[in-house]
Amino acid sequence: MHELRIAEDLTAIVLDTALSKNLSKVTKVNIIFGQLIQIVPDIFEFAFIETVRNSIAEGAELDIEILPLKMKCLNCGNDFQPKENRFTCNICGSTDMGIIQGKELFIKSIEGE
Amino acid sequence: MEIKIMKNILDRNQNKADEIRNLLTLKKILMVNIISSPGAGKTTLLERTLEAIGAKFRIGVIEGDITTDRDAQRLKKYNIPIVVINTEGGCHLDSNSISKVLDSFDLDNLDVLFVENVGNLICPSQFDLGETFKLAIVSTTEGDDKPGKYPMLFREAVAVLLNKIDLIPYTNFNFESFNSDLIKINSQIPLLQISCTRGDGLTDWYKWIADQIVFSRL
């Protein structure tokens, strides 16, 4: 459900940007999702198709780049990618962790003419 | 041509949330964003909490509900300021809806604002409301696999309340498995085991939340 709301916010940014850059057509929207963000890409794409309907971004391709989860061990400083949802350092075994990548919900760029 | 943007898609929500957080910090009000599945016991926890510490602190409640004001009706008897936000199908509250109702509260006469989010473990954890912190409630009847399945919430919350522990004998809830999954995701998080109907563990909860309220008044 929240996919629709996030698609609406994305569409607002896309159309504002297109307007300020005098684009007449948006052909592609490049976005980045972190792995921890619980968004289903298929549902999101479907929501996006609806939110850009009847706008200059109608029919724009949506490119979703998924960034894997990366954590930093706050005990030994090791940077690593945890397996599944086990946030334990693979070197020292500490569970004291900071997330350095995986919560992104970014619009990277738009393409158009 | 390609136009670089590189910004948070939920920028609008985030900006409004930051405004709310600044305002509440200025007014020294603790805002708790309570997140759980439907039926985990959010409203019952608020009932018990209002009975226990309602005389000691000035408490306000924002009730997020998809439709109806039934939760708010249950809290009416405590004579505290309550505002209902009906999301009309929306699965979460956002900072804009909170911002619109903040005016209904006398912010100069409030210590804590409890926000009962829409029952859902996924969407609400994505939207910053400007809260001081998120509080996760899980009940034993939902099963012991929730931390493993919804890591974002258990990573974002500052404490977890495990409710309905009196019902464990009637379910296949495995506490060791629940706790071990939770620690893997957030090793530092306090876990309070409670039963809002039988009263187990509630004294610890009242003390914990009272400490947080007092801390935010400093």
Domain ranges of chain B: 23-217
Sign, CA dihedral B181-B212-B103-B70, equals: positive
Largest pairwise CA distance in chain A: 55
Closest CA–CA distance from residue B129 to any residue of chain A (Å): 15
ipTM: 0.87
Query: Is residue A79 predicted with pLDDT exceeding 80?
Result: yes
- Please tell me which residue, B91 or A64, carries the higher pLDDT value: A64
Query: Of A33, A30, A34, A2, nearest to A14 (Cα)?
Result: A30
Q: What are phi and psi of A9, to 5 degrees?
A: -65, -40
Q: For residues B156 and A77, what is the distance between their CA atoms, to the nearest angstrom?
A: 21
Rounded percentage of chain B residues whose pLDDT exceeds 70: 100
Q: Determine the Cα–Cα distance for residues B69 and B86; give it in Å rounded to an integer.
A: 8
User: How far is A2 from A5, CA to CA, in rounded Å?
Assistant: 5
Pairing status of strand A97-101 against strand A105-112: unpaired
Contact across the interface for A107 and B9, Cβ inside 8 Å: yes
- Would the pLDDT of B114 be above 90? yes
Contact criterion met (CB < 8 Å) for A5 and B186: no
B122 interfacial to chain A (CB closer than 8 Å): yes
CA-closest candidate to residue B128, choices A2, A90, A81: A2
A109 has a chain B CB within 8 A of its CB = yes
Cα of B93 to nearest chain A Cα, Å:
10
Q: Quote the mean pLDDT of chain B.
A: 95
Q: Do B185 and A10 touch (CB under 8 A)?
A: no
Paired residues of B7 in beta bridges: A107
Q: Judge contact between B133 and B158, C-beta under 8 A.
A: yes
Size of interface A-B (CB pairs under 8 A): 94
Is the pLDDT score of A66 beyond 70? Answer: yes
Higher pLDDT, B187 or A13: A13
Cα B52 from chain centroid?
18
Distance between CA atoms of residues B44 and B61, nearest Å? 13
* CATH number for the domain formed by residue range(s) B23-217: 3.40.50.300
Q: Count other C-beta atoms under 10 Å from residue A42's C-beta.
A: 9
Which of these ranges, A28-32, B46-50, B92-96, B128-132, has the smallest mean pLDDT?
A: B92-96
User: Is B172 touching A (CB cutoff 8 A)?
Assistant: no
Q: Which top CATH class is A2-68+101-112? A: alpha beta
On whether any CB of chain A is under 8 Å from the CB of B201, the answer is: no
Model confidence, pTM: 0.91
Q: How confident is the model at residue A1 (pLDDT cuts 50, 70, 90)?
A: low
